């Protein structure tokens, strides 16, 4: 299913940087076989390192002595110089190379762009292109705001980066990027052999047309160890949590934001061709109104080489008439098949099947219950490492958490949010709760790096690792850690057998309790105690009891009075003093 469209950006640059020179400078291995004859995507033998030299002004633009960017003024001058194609006044960056080919920049502090609203993206599509290497130094850009009323294409920090260019080690927070076509927080479109590494977005991105992503609108290069926690929204097609339109290599990426589009919409990639997509997860909600879309990848095809998708995991919700839990469509083009393997999704978080064609296929896309995915249960399927450049990656396993792809050297709060499960009730394969049929209290994970849980409508309360149902109806659970977040949508249909039409006079204190409990409001002849799974764990007579031997959690009390009426209440057992 080949598409024809007009590319609005200049994505190649012949003769400016010799491959041998680049390889000797930063260790790229251009001998690696190409993914596609025209895409020339690469896997380097070296990596983009964070320059650890002390903060300073100036620099000469070499790898060893990069230009230092420490203010909004200096960042804006890069845009002015690249977009004018000539040296601008001010001599902050004294170099006559308009596109900064083979030149290096390093941020030495966080930058606030409040005084540069709307932001003028670096590069002019099809005319003046940035071909350099921009290293954020693990710093943050805030208040990046774009306005597409005067330029409707290619919105982001960069509008375009050219062939062999790179953006690395950068975060964007408290920003809002809007555009029409080719819209992404870091770049509208990235050229052949470009690299976007260790970049993280925490802001919303909106487009009115095609090719929109949390990191990039489109890319013909590599995207590695990146994450998105912002909501990505478009009225059209090719929308992804990381990238909308993709023709390269994407590995070790995470999305927790809500992604909304029409068709070819996915948690990581919207549309991909001739691509390698591996070791990525989605934990956000994906909304697609029509066509082929998926929890991780919307549409996978190829033009002249194989397209591989492996170890893609979805823990988020999927909403739309034809959306799939992992891959919306595996398409064969010109006799070249698209392959998928070792992909999984949480069947308690979605009611969709895994992939088109085939729905759920063993070894391709398989459903798992939450308890089968969390902790160390997936070490046999995912217990290995992989590399990109000189950096080693692996799946991270942690008790009661989903597995996540993890760099051994980079901290990323989005990973911890993605890993936190809502462990809905499970008794057996025929008796379990699903997101749209939640009947009982359930376990959550909130004991890690300041993770918090909130209820949008107040239908759920949280105590330690228990989510307690308070009333029926729809609720959105919000998981937060710093600026990273995800939403879990549930429909509460029952509350452990409680008859909501029956009033109760039963009150209990203290609540929470770490031991003794007293009942008031009735003269109880017998009280039965049930755990969060609905199993009776004890009973007692009279109006006092000792519950200190029970594990921490929320329990339902059903007390029978002297007239034979049953009244109910809940009590929290806590071992904290």
Q: How many CA atoms lie within 13 A of 138 on its CB side?
A: 10
Is 313 within 8 Å of 342 (Cβ atoms)? no
Partner residues linked to 278 by β-bridges:
251, 310
d(CA 505, CA 344): 47
Q: pLDDT tens, 59-96?
A: 889 999 999 999 999 999 999 989 887 543 334 444 44
d(CA 449, CA 102): 39
Write the DSSP symbol of residue 436: T
pLDDT mean by block of 10 residues, the chain; 577 residues: 35 29 25 25 36 54 94 94 64 56 94 96 91 96 85 88 96 96 96 96 95 97 97 96 96 97 97 94 97 95 78 97 94 75 97 90 94 95 90 90 79 90 92 94 81 93 84 95 96 70 71 92 90 84 93 88 78 83
Domains in the chain: boundaries: 423-492, 507-573
CATH class of 507-573: mainly beta
Is 149 within 8 Å of 117 (Cβ atoms)? no
Is 256 within 8 Å of 287 (Cβ atoms)? no
Q: pLDDT tens, 364-391?
A: 999 999 999 999 999 999 988 999 988 8
Sign of CA dihedral 306, 312, 316, 322: positive
65 alpha-carbon distance from chain centroid: 34
């Amino acid at each position: 299913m080949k598409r024809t469209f007009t590319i609005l950006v200049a994505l190649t640059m012949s003769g400016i940087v010799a491959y041998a020179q680049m390889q000797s400078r930063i260790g790229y291995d251009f001998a690696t076989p190409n993914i596609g004859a025209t895409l020339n995507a690469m896997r380097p033998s070296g990596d983009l390192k964070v320059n650890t030299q002390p903060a300073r002004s100036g620099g000469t633009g070499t790898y060893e002595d990069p230009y230092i960017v420490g203010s909004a003024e200096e960042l804006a001058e890069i845009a002015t110089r690249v977009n004018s194609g000539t040296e601008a006044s001010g001599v902050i960056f004294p170099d006559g190379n308009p596109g900064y080919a083979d030149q290096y920049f390093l941020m030495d502090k966080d930058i606030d762009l409040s005084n540069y609203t709307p932001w003028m993206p670096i590069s002019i599509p099809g005319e003046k292109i940035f071909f350099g290497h921009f290293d954020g130094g693990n710093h943050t850009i805030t208040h990046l705001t774009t306005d597409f009323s005067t330029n409707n294409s290619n919105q982001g920090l960069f509008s375009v980066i050219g062939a062999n260019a790179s953006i690395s080690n950068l975060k964007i927070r408290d920003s809002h990027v809007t555009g029409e076509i080719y819209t992404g927080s870091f770049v509208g479109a990235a050229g052949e052999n470009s690299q976007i590494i260790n970049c993280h977005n925490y802001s919303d991105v909106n487009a009115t047309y095609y090719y929109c992503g949390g990191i990039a609108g489109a890319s013909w290069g590599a995207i590695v160890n990146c994450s998105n926690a912002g909501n990505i929204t478009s009225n059209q097609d090719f929308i992804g949590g990381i990238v909308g339109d993709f023709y390269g290599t994407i590995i070790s990426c995470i999305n927790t934001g809500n992604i909304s589009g029409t068709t070819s919409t996915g948690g990581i990639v919207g549309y991909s061709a001739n691509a390698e997509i591996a070791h990525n997860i989605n934990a956000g909600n994906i909304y697609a109104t029509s066509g082929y879309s998926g929890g991780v990848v919307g549409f996978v095809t190829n033009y002249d080489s194989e397209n591989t998708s492996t170890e893609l995991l979805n823990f988020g919700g999927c909403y739309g008439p034809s959306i799939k839990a992992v891959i919306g469509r595996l398409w064969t083009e010109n006799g070249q098949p698209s392959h998928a393997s070792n992909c999984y999704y949480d069947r308690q978080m979605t009611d969709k099947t895994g992939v088109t064609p085939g729905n759920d296929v063993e070894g391709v896309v398989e459903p798992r219950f939450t308890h089968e995915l969390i902790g160390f249960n997936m070490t046999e399927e995912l217990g290995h490492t992989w590399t990109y450049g000189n950096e080693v990656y692996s799946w991270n396993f942690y008790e009661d958490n989903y597995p996540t792809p993890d760099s051994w050297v980079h901290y990323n709060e989005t990973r911890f949010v993605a890993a936190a499960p809502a462990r809905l009730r499970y008794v057996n394969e025929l008796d379990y709760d699903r997101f749209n049929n939640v009947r009982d209290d359930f376990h959550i994970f909130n004991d890690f790096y300041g993770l918090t849980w909130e209820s949008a409508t107040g239908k759920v309360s949280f105590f330690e690792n228990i989510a307690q149902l308070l009333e029926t109806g729809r609720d959105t659970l919000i998981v937060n850690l710093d600026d990273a977040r995800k939403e879990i949508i549930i429909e509460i249909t029952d509350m452990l057998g409680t008859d909501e039409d029956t009033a109760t006079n039963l009150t209990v204190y203290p609540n929470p309790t770490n031991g003794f409990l007293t009942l008031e409001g009735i003269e109880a002849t017998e009280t039965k105690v049930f755990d969060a799974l609905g199993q009776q764990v004890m009973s007692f007579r009279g109006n006092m009891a000792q519950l200190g031997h029970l594990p921490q959690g929320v329990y339902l009390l059903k007390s029978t009075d002297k007239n034979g009426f049953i009244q109910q209440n809940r009590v929290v057992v806590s071992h904290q003093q």
